[in-house]
Structures are given as structure tokens and as C-alpha cells.
Structure 1
Amino acid sequence: MQKRVIVIMGATGVGKTSICSYIGEKYNIPQVITHTTRPMRDGEADGVDYYFETPASFKEKHFLESVSYAGNSYGSSMEGLKKAWAKSDLAVTVLDTKGGITYKEELGDQAWLWYVTVSDQKELVERLHERGDGDVAVEKRINSAEFKRDLKLPEELEGNAEVLLNDDWKSLKAQVDGLINQSKANARFS
């Protein structure tokens, strides 16, 4: 059985982390824990949401991909992916679209790309405020080149990614369930 990783991509605020949590809870699919130098938010835990690193410790890791975003570093290591695959033939991770391109290049068909979007991009600003990001942080985020890049599926990934619309959580869960159940029916993972 070929091991695969669901790569959830999209702009900040589209619900990537919520989808990842849902998949883990409902289907017992392990998450590939990624690394970041950004500060921990209320309710987050080291080794669960991210491995929270200092700039120095971040540089010591062996990354499959890494990126700087809004002044912080983010990355996922091959070791982290292998730890998730040791638990299941299917794992899940949350990346930006640049990371999704790298995963596709490095892992080929083992990377199952999911791009999440919304109908109204103004909704994303509201979601960022709701999750506790301050006005300055939200303004910095939505004006960053990375945020603007992630608002659309990159040309390199067109035709290679599932596109999920997250205007409504119930509808989104139905889309996710359909993809996972179809994959199970096709025996893509055990």
C-alpha cells in the first residue's frame, strides 16, 4: 500500500487547521507536525499544533520544505512525515501553496493536494479577528505577498489538487468526508 499525505493548502483563515483536526478526530489520520518560529497562541501546545522553535533551533532541523511568512519561519521535516506514516498509511499536513508545490515535486503521487478557498475573501479578515489576531497582525498578514499568493491555486497545481469551498462548515465536512470515503473505497490506504 502506497503511503500518502493529504496536503491542505489555502490562504490564512480558510480553515486549514480546522479541517486537519476534523480528519484526525473522525478518521484517526495522524497529522504531520510542522515547525514554526512564531509565538504560540492561546490554546496551542508544543508538539501538538506545531513544534515551536527559536530561530537558532529552527535552522538545526532537516526540512522537506520551509518558508518565511509574515516574519516567521515555518517548515515540515521528512522525519515528521515518517513519524506520521509509522502510525498510518495516510497522514495529513497543513502547508501554504509554496509548500504544496514542493511536496508535489518531492513526493509525486504520495502528496494528495487539497486547496481550500472561500467565495468572499472579506470573510477571511473576519475569521482572523475571530481567532484572536490583533488589528496590526491582521493588516500585516493580509497585505503580505504570501497571503495574496495563497488566495488562488498556483498554476503548477491546477489539475493536481482537490478544491474545497469553505463557506459553511457543514458543507465543508461533507466534502472532506466524500474525499476520504472515496479514497477508502479505492483502497488508497489501510
Structure 2
Amino acid sequence: MDKKIIVITGASGTGKTTISKYLQDTYHIPSVITHTTRLPRDGEKDGKDYYFETKDSFLKNHYLEKVEYSGNWYGSSEESLNRTWDKYNAASIVVDTKGAVSYKEKYKEAAVVIFLEVDLDTVTKRLSKRGDDKKRLKARISSDEFLRDLQIPRELETKSYKIINKSLQTTLESVDEILKNENIK
């Protein structure tokens, strides 16, 4: 079987992490571990939750996408994906739409992109249920990145699967169908 990377993308609150967890729990498809320069939170382990890096060590990897957020760097590297592919035929990763385009350009057919879409009203309700502070929530949903991630990028329109995530059960059935289409077990 060819190696596959399932790239899950969409705006915050569309269900990306839920789908990643479903792939892990149901199909034993692990998430690619990403890198960060932020300090570990209580209970987080290096090599499990993230690869915790210094600013210097962070720069030594080859990133498919990286972003600076609140003074810390986050990114997904070719090295981490290759480590996962050494043990598994398929892996998943949650990235923003810009990152999804990078994965598709680099890995072509090996990158199975799933774009999750939800209407703005539903996303806003989901994010406020998470307990996000109202002021931060408002800033987040009006940010350029959030608005960009609400739409499937032009570069991915004909090269990805789009799921409108209104019902979790229907969404999971769609994910099952995609895995069958892509011959991922």
C-alpha cells in the first residue's frame, strides 16, 4: 500500500480535531506530531503531544507549514511525517487551509485533503461552547486567517473532499467513504 497523509482542514470549530481522533480510534491512523517552541503544559509529553523545541532546534527541521502565534512557533515537518510513515501506512494532520495547499503540492496523490465546512453561525456557537472568551472569540472569527479558512482554497477545489459538517454521524460516514475510495484501511 502506498503511504497516505490525511490532511484535515477548515476553520476553527468545524470538527477537525474530532475527525483526527475518530481516525485514530477507529482506524488506528495516528496524528503526525507537530513541533512548537512553547513550553509544555502540565501533563504534556515531548514526542507525544508535540516535539518541544528551542528556537534553534525548531529551525533545523523542514516545514511544510509553520506559523508564529503569541510569540511561539508551531509547525509540521517532513521529518515528523517520515517518522510516522516508518511505522504506519497512513497518518493524519490538522492544518489550516494554507498548510493543506502545501501538503497537496508536496505529496500530490499521497495527500488526501478533507475540507470541513460549517456555516458561520454554527461555528460561532461551537467556539463559544468551548468556553472561548467573548472578546477573543469575536477577534478570532473576524481574523483574516479564520475568514480564509471558511472557504476551500481555489488550489484545492478539485483536489480535495469537502464535507459540510452539520451532523457528526453523517460526517463520520463521509469520512468512512473517503477512506474506502482512497483504499486506506
TM-score range, shorter chain: 0.7 to 0.9
Q: How does 1:12-31 map to 2 (within 5 A)?
A: 12-31=12-31
Q: Give the partner amino acid of 1:94.
A: V
Give per-residue Cα distances to partners, 1:8-44, cap 9 Å, x unaligned: 01001101011001001100011111224568789x8
Q: How does 1:40-119 map to 2 (within 5 A)?
A: 45-46=44-45, 47-51=47-51, 58-68=58-68, 73-118=73-118
Supply the distance in 2 between the matched residues of 1:177 and 1:102 (Cα, whole angstroms). Answer: 24
The aligned residue for residue 138 of structure 2 is 139
**Is residue 67–residue 99 contact of structure 1 (8 Å, CA) maintained in 2?**
no
Scaled by the length of structure 2, the TM-score of the pair is 0.86
**Is residue 70–residue 144 contact of structure 1 (8 Å, CA) maintained in 2?**
no
Q: Give the partner amino acid of 1:147.
A: F
Structure 2 residue runs of 5 or longer lacking an equivalent are none
Work out whether 1:178 is the aligned partner of 2:177: yes
The aligned residue for residue 129 of structure 2 is 130
Supply the distance in 1 between the matched residues of 2:137 and 2:6 (Cα, whole angstroms). Answer: 27
Structure 1 residue runs of 5 or longer lacking an equivalent are none
Give per-residue Cα distances to partners, 1:100-138, cap 9 Å, x unaligned: 1111111111111110001x2111112112223222321
Q: CA deviation at 1:181?
A: 2.6
Q: Give the partner amino acid of 1:163.
A: K
Deviation larger for 132-141 or 20-29: 132-141
Q: Give the partner amino acid of 2:111.
A: A
Supply the distance in 2 between the matched residues of 1:112 and 1:126 (Cα, whole angstroms). Answer: 28
SS in 2 for 1:5: strand
The aligned residue for residue 161 of structure 1 is 160
Q: CA deviation at 1:70?
A: 7.1
**Is residue 13–residue 126 contact of structure 2 (8 Å, CA) maintained in 1?**
yes
Q: CA deviation at 1:82?
A: 0.8
Q: Give the partner amino acid of 1:7.
A: V
Supply the distance in 2 between the matched residues of 1:82 and 1:92 (Cα, whole angstroms). Answer: 12
Indicate the percent of aligned positions where both proteins have the same amino acid: 44
SS in 2 for 1:8: strand
Q: CA deviation at 1:49?
A: 4.2
